[in-house]
Amino acid sequence: MRHSTRIAVGPVQFRIGSDWRAPVAALGRLYAGYPRDTARPADATVRLFAARPWRRWLRPSVEIGGDFTVPDALPLPLSMGLLAAEMGMNLQVALGWRRHLLLHASAVARDGRAVIMSGESGSGKSTLAALLGEDGWRLMGDEFTLIDPAGGDALAFPRAVSLKNAAIAEVAARVDAARLGPLLAGTPKGDIRHLIPRADAIAAMHEPARPVLLLFPRFGGEAGIEPMGEGEAFVRLTEASTNYVALGEAGFAALTRLVRETPAFGISYPDSTTGLALVEQLFAEAVR
């Protein structure tokens, strides 16, 4: 394709090609600090292309392609090319990755021990992970966490954090503006702004961490902690995994082990400060 780049996020090497320069340039800025190994073969390919040649210039419209595609996905305007790239990268990992059990969950680590947070969009898992990542924790990822089927460790996927709506101002108040991408206003997911993870989190992206806590956050309502049984955690995580079925028995074994060895809790919190305090409290109890 006319413009292309390679980006390594955790164990995944992406090859991204685009009909336009802008999305690749925007990715280049967000991922400038990530390690590069252009000799390594790509694990996943993302293509951003114009459905018709003239749509490169005339009301340019970005189609998302790659090894795996979703039928009937709507194209995005070129102004949202960065979002299209992010969606393409997520899609390739969600549908194509087979080496690890992939959980739709954020994760942070301290002293080699990981807290995994799984929840629907709006649960605050991404915001909590971003804020913890600015507060003494290593950000492992805001969207996906990989579980090694052999040893049970969590592996990081620290892509640029996708901050949405109210989380943008909350995080922007705490970080250097140079770590924020452009504001993408009015996307199908609301306002989006990317946060570049801290340099130490990027440098540590290949270091596995031992899961010690599984959290299922829910934003809103009174502060609360509810212990969750192994069975319920298993069911929720099968639903949160995009490749559980594809992994077959390896996925089954990895997930039963994870929920057996890792205490799980549902937490609800009315604001981020309370949410962070609950994570700190449960982590302290888990590692005691």
Partner 1 sequence: MADRVYRAAPPETLRIEALGELTVLFDRRSMQTHLMTQPMPEILAVMAGDPCNAATVAERLAARFDLGGGGDPTPLIAERLAELAAMGLVAEA
Q: What are phi and psi of 206, to 5 degrees?
A: -95, 0
Query: Is 245 a binder of partner 1 (CB under 8 A)?
Result: yes
Q: Determine the size of the site formed for partner 1 (CB under 8 A).
A: 16
Q: Which is nearer to partner 1, 88 or 251 (CB)?
A: 251
Minimum CB separation of residue 251 from partner 1 in Å reads 9
Say what the alpha-carbon torsion angle 196, 199, 202, 204 is, to the nearest 10 degrees.
-150
Minimum CB separation of residue 254 from partner 1 in Å reads 12
Site for partner 1, residues 213 to 242, rule: CB under 8 A: 229-232, 234-235, 238
Q: Which is nearer to partner 1, 161 or 255 (CB)?
A: 255
Cβ atoms of residues 66 and 43 within 8 Å = no
Tokens of 144: 């996906």
The mark string for 252-281 relative to partner 1 (x by CB under 8 A, - otherwise) is xx--x--xx---------------------
Q: Which is nearer to partner 1, 122 or 229 (CB)?
A: 229
Tokens of 230: 């192994």
Minimum CB separation of residue 115 from partner 1 in Å reads 21
Cβ atoms of residues 40 and 8 within 8 Å = yes
Q: Which is nearer to partner 1, 21 or 260 (CB)?
A: 260
Q: Is the dihedral of CA 131, 132, 138, 144 positive or negative?
A: negative
Minimum CB separation of residue 230 from partner 1 in Å reads 4
261, HSE (Cβ side, Cα atoms, 13 Å): 17
Q: Which residue has the tokens 């089927």?
A: 149
The mark string for 109-148 relative to partner 1 (x by CB under 8 A, - otherwise) is ----------------------------------------
Minimum CB separation of residue 204 from partner 1 in Å reads 32
Query: Is 2 a binder of partner 1 (CB under 8 A)?
Result: no
The end-to-end CA distance of the chain, in Å, is 53
Which amino acid is present at 104? H
Closest Cα to residue 74, out of 90, 51, 96?
51
Minimum CB separation of residue 6 from partner 1 in Å reads 34
DSSP string, 168-234: HHHHHTTS-GGGB---EEEETTEEEEEEPPPHHHHHTTT--BEEEEEEEEEESSS-EEEEE-HHHHH
Q: Which is nearer to partner 1, 121 or 256 (CB)?
A: 256
Residue ranges binding partner 1 (CB under 8 A): 229-232, 234-235, 238, 244-245, 248-249, 252-253, 256, 259-260
